[in-house]
Amino acid sequence: MAEPGSPTKEDERPKFNLVQEIASSINDSNQVPERYIHKNGYQQASDSSAPWMDQLLIDLSLLSSSSSPAAAAELQKLRSALTSWGCFQVINHGMTRSFLNDVLQVCKEFFALPLADKQKCSGAADLFSGYGNDAVIAGNQILNWNDRLYLTLYPEDQSKLKYWPQKPKKFREIVREYGMKIKALPELLLKAMARSLDLEENCFLKQHKEQGLTARVNLYPRCGSPDRVLGVKPHSDGSTITILLQDNQVEGLQVLKDDQWFKVPFIPNALFVNAGDLTEVMSNGIFKSTVHRVVTNSSSERVSLAVFYSSNSDNEIGPANELVTADRPCSYKKVTMKNYGKLFIECYPRGQRTLNALKF
Ligand code: OGA
Ligand code: NI
C-alpha cells in the first residue's frame, strides 16, 4: 500500500474495529462482518493448486560487483524480472536468517500484546503513522482483514517516537537495526536497475532528492471465511521500491501477471522486492509496478514487514528523459509524492489504480 498522502482529520473518518479484535470475538465464518466480505468471492487463482510464481532469485553480491560476466548475467536477470513480473527475491543481502527471524518474532510479539498496550502507538490522527486498521476509507468499499503498524524509519528526524512500541522490550532496537541494515538496499537496486537498461547508474536515484523509508508491520489474523475475505485487496504500492520480509511459516502473498494470480513462495534468507508505481513512471513503463494481494487463512495468522522506499513530498518524479523516444513516447505525467498521495486516497477506495490517473 502507499504510505504518502495528506492525512484526513481523525473525526472525518469512519471508525472500524481492529481486525484482530473482531477475529478473536468470533468463532464461525458466518460472523465475519459484512464489510469484509467479497460477496461473490474474489478472483481465485486459476484452480485449487494455484501456481507458484517463478523463483526469480537475484544475488545482491553479484549486482554490486563490478563488470564480471556473472554480474552482467545478474543484471540481465534483474531486467527480465522487472519487465515481466515487476518483482523478484533478493538473496545474499548480508542479513542472517537468525536476525530476520528475530525481526519477525518481535513483530509477532507486538501484535500479541494486550490491546491497551498496542493502542499506545495508535495512529488515529494520521493515515500513514502508527497502529490501526484500514484507514483509507470511502463509500462502501470492502475492508481488508489486516491490522498494521506504520513507522517512519528515515529520515530519522521524522520517525515520531510516540508510534514506536515500548513493548516488546527489544522492538525498537531490532526494528531500528533492520532499518539501518536495509537502508542501502533500495539505492543499490535503483543503481542496478538503471545499469540494466544501459543508463547512467544514478539516473533513477537522482530523482529522489531526499529519500524516505517507511515500515508497515502487517498482521493478518486467522479468518473463518478465507474464500471471501482478503487480507489486502489487489493494489500496487505507492513507493519506488518495496522490500518485504514475509512470515516464515505462513504464505499469503500473491502477484498478478497476465491476468493470472500466482502465489509468492517464502524463501528462507530471501527478501521479496517489488517495484512500486514510481518505478513504472520513471522507467516510462518498461518496469512493471506489480499488482499484488494477500489472501487469508483459516488456520494461522500471518505477519509481514513491508519497507517502502520513496522520496520526499515536494519532489517530482517523472519518466527518465533517456527512456522517452520516438518508439516509446512519454506515457506518464510527472508527479510529486504529495500529489501522488492525494490521487491514491481518491483511487484506492474505489478499487482503481493510482497509476492509471498518471497515464497520458
Ligand atoms: C503491503 C503489502 C504484502 C504482505 O503492505 O503493501 O502488499 O504480504 N503487503 O503483507
Ligand atoms: Ni503492497
pLDDT tens per residue across span 128-168: 889 998 776 667 788 999 999 999 999 999 999 999 999 99
Distance (Å) of CA 275 to CA 24, 164, 227, 359: 35, 27, 27, 17
| Cβ pair 239, 252 in contact under 8 A | no
pLDDT at 31: 86
Listed in order, strand segments (DSSP E) in 81-161 are 87-91, 130-133, 147-154
Ligand 1: nearest atom to the Cα of 293:
7
Ligand 1: nearest atom to the Cα of 252:
8
* Average pLDDT for 243-263: 95
**Average pLDDT value for the chain:** 90
pLDDT at 200: 96
CA of 139 to the centre of ligand 1 (A): 23
pLDDT at 162: 93
Is any ligand 1 atom within 6 A of the Cβ of residue 302? Answer: no
Residue 42's pLDDT band (cuts 50, 70, 90) = confident
pLDDT at 4: 47
Task: Map residue 218 onto helix, strand or coil.
Answer: strand
Is any ligand 1 atom within 6 A of the Cβ of residue 232? Answer: yes
Percentage, residues of the chain above pLDDT 90: 74
Distance (Å) of CA 237 to CA 260, 273, 328: 19, 11, 24
Choose the residue to mutate in 150, 242, 262, 354 for probing ligand 1, maximizing ligand atoms within 8 Å of C-beta.
242
pLDDT at 29: 59
Length of the chain: 360
pLDDT > 90? residue 44: no
Distance (Å) of CA 229 to CA 179, 216, 290: 31, 21, 21
Grid cell, residue 143, equals: 475492508
The sign one gets for the Cα dihedral 10, 337, 182, 220 is: positive
pLDDT at 3: 44
What is the DSSP secondary structure assignment for residue 92, as one 8-state letter? Answer: -
* Rounded Cα distance, 217 and 194, in Å: 29
The sign one gets for the Cα dihedral 67, 68, 74, 77 is: positive
Grid cell, residue 121, equals: 502507538
pLDDT > 90? residue 229: yes
Q: Which ligand is nearest to the CA of 307?
A: 1
Residue whose CA lies nearest to ligand 1 atom number 2: 1
pLDDT > 90? residue 14: no
| Cβ pair 19, 147 in contact under 8 A | yes
Is any ligand 1 atom within 6 A of the Cβ of residue 245? Answer: no
* Rounded Cα distance, 159 and 83, in Å: 34
Ligand 1: nearest atom to the Cα of 253:
8
pLDDT > 60? residue 7: no
Is any ligand 1 atom within 6 A of the Cβ of residue 292? Answer: yes
Phi-psi region of 275 (alpha: psi -120 to 50; beta: other; left: phi over 0): beta
Is any ligand 1 atom within 6 A of the Cβ of residue 218? Answer: yes
Number of H helices, E strands in the chain: 10, 14
Ligand 1: nearest atom to the Cα of 247:
8
Residue whose CA lies nearest to ligand 1 atom number 9: 306
* Rounded Cα distance, 159 and 66, in Å: 35
Is any ligand 1 atom within 6 A of the Cβ of residue 247? Answer: no
Helices (H), 5-111: 19-25, 60-63, 69-84, 97-111
CA of 1 to the centre of ligand 1 (A): 7
**Chain centre distance of CA 12:** 26
Percentage, residues of the chain above pLDDT 70: 91
Q: Which ligand is nearest to the CA of 306?
A: 1
* Rounded Cα distance, 103 and 129, in Å: 19
Q: Exposed/middle/buried for 313, CB within 10 Å: 0-12, 13-18, 19+?
A: middle
Is any ligand 1 atom within 6 A of the Cβ of residue 81? Answer: no
